[in-house]
Amino acid sequence: MYSDKVIDHFSNPRNVGEIENPSGVGTVGNAKCGDIMRMYLDIDDDGVIREAKFKTFGCGAAIATSSMATELVKGKTVQEALEVTNKAVMEALDGLPPVKVHCSLLAEEAIHAALWDYAKKNGIVIEGLQEPVEDIEESAEYDKM
């Protein structure tokens, strides 16, 4: 049912924890399943993500997707980080079962929420970034694989 990569990132998640004084932090949840994800980003003066950490109170797929999402955004510019969609995270994990697709959306929205916080704190606009939703079930459509 789950790929080896999903099992690996669930059993041995990367970048778990918090960043003190993060450049941006965002929390999103899914009211339906009750899972919550918080993403911390450390972004340097060139707009490059140096560090990403997460805390997820959620299912195994949410933990695996948060872990992969933090790995994917590290070293990217804030603009490039927008390309780390839930589909990109799922692809990097070699797929997720259809009932678990929404878990990957939590990871995408957590990145967006942290970027939104960073942009707000610095008075900048990140092109293409929309205000994140707190509850992903309220967001209209998302990529399915």
Q: Are 116 and 41 in contact (CB under 8 A)?
A: no
Among 7, 16, 33, 119, which one carries the catalytic annotation? 33
- CA nearest to 104, candidates 11, 16, 23, 30: 30
Could you identify the residue written with the tokens 């998302």? 142
Footprint (CB under 6 A) of ligand FES, residues 11-50: 30, 33, 35
Nearer to ligand FES, 74 or 100 (CB): 100
Q: Are 44 and 57 in contact (CB under 8 A)?
A: no
Q: Which two tokens stand for residue 135?
A: 């509850």
Pick the binder of ligand FES from 13, 22, 58, 132 (CB under 6 A): 58
59 is catalytic: no
User: What residues are annotated to the active site?
Assistant: 33, 103
Binding site for ligand FES (CB under 6 A): 30, 33, 35, 58-59, 61-62, 100, 103, 106
